[in-house]
Amino acid sequence: MPNRSHFNAAHRMMNFIRKEGVTHSSDRAFVLPEKTHHAVIVSDAAELLRSVRDASIQLVVCDPPYNLDMASWDRFNIYSNWASSWLDEVPRVLKDTGSVAIFGGFQFQNERGGDLLDIISYLRKNGRLRLINVIVWHYRNGMSAHRFFANRHEEIVWFAKSARYTFNLDEVRVPYDEETKKQYLRDPRLKPETIEKGKNPTNVWEIPRLNGNSAERVGHPTQKPLEVVRRLVKALSCPGDIVMDFFAGSGSTTRVCVEEGRHSIGSDADPMWPDFLSRQLAQLGALALTRYEILRGPTISSHPVFQGIFQEEPVLPQAATPAVHMAETR
């Protein structure tokens, strides 16, 4: 029986690329744009997505609420009905090379539903996306437990729009430890330049969760570590691409995009989120100020980077709070 795993297809493609001498996306040298542009929107996720044109976004970073009662935004009667309102739009807005990375866990479900298994199952039944990896985000810090094994992982599922998805492995390789490196360098079968590049980070990522007193913290209850978001952004998009996060929360994705030379569309229903983002950007210091521009309101759809991204009559609600002038908050 033929093995139809997409991993074999990927291996076949890599062999073909090598034979033909074609440059694979992982061999490209990246040049960061001098300045990037970042749309800051306050909106319901599904409503905003409906205003985005087909095939216009390279990467969606998605960290939704899971009905855990973490905050007022984390309560739903029928979770799957709500989730489908934005999940249905994601495949449509992704470019052919694009991906969506969805954060979550497998053990959060309560009687009203809602965990990553629900989302995976929904996407596999209803979507046109292909599952590439389930990434286990493992951390050593967490809550203690007495009635079950204390939880030390969450998951991130990576779905791609098509077989042409972007994966910049060289951008996210991790260095070998000195001992292993020395050993490999002595092995004549291995190329020194390949060893220098480092190793594939695998689909198990050990990255600490943010502690309450972490310097990265800007006050959002479910803020994700920059290192996790950075690995996704660098691997699944290229400099100058557009990355979208419609559950922006503390603005971690926008901040990573500023640092890594991607344009971004950040949005959250919470009118406080631009304030969290201001705190994130303040941590970058004054030097970064010339490298990015924050756009709000009608200036977004008329900006050259975002022109054509929104439908003719874009639904771009203004922030409910007075506009935050990012440059002034540093």
Residues forming the site for ligand SAM (CB under 6 A): 44-45, 63, 65, 73, 220, 222-224, 246-247, 249-250, 252, 268-270
Q: Cβ 156 to ligand SAM, closest distance in Å?
A: 11
Angle at Cα 42 formed by Cα 66 and Cα 44, nearest 5°? 45
Nearer to ligand SAM, 161 or 220 (CB): 220
Q: Cβ 284 to ligand SAM, closest distance in Å?
A: 16
Burial class (CB in 10 A: 0-12, 13-18, 19+), 154: buried
Nearer to ligand SAM, 65 or 127 (CB): 65
Q: Cβ 233 to ligand SAM, closest distance in Å?
A: 12
Return the closest-CA partner of residue 254 out of 277, 273, 235: 277
Length of the chain: 330
Q: Which residues of 72-92 are buried (b: 16+ CB within 10 A; e: fewer)?
A: eeeebeebeebbbebbbbbbb
Nearer to ligand SAM, 115 or 268 (CB): 268
At how many degrees (to 10) do helices 273-282 and 252-260 cross?
40
Q: Cβ 69 to ligand SAM, closest distance in Å?
A: 13
Q: Cβ 250 to ligand SAM, closest distance in Å?
A: 3
Nearer to ligand SAM, 216 or 293 (CB): 216
Residue with CB nearest ligand SAM?
249
Nearer to ligand SAM, 45 or 242 (CB): 45
Q: Cβ 266 to ligand SAM, closest distance in Å?
A: 10
Q: Cβ 268 to ligand SAM, closest distance in Å?
A: 5
Tokens describing residue 153: 């992982």
Nearer to ligand SAM, 63 or 170 (CB): 63
Nearer to ligand SAM, 228 or 309 (CB): 228
Angle at Cα 213 formed by Cα 211 and Cα 218, nearest 5°? 95
Beta bridge partners of 7: none
Q: Which residues contact 135 (CB under 8 A, 6 or more apart)?
A: 101, 155, 156, 157, 158, 203, 204, 205
Compute the CA torsion angle 17, 230, 260, 299 (nearest 10 deg): 110
Largest alpha-carbon pair distance within the chain? 64
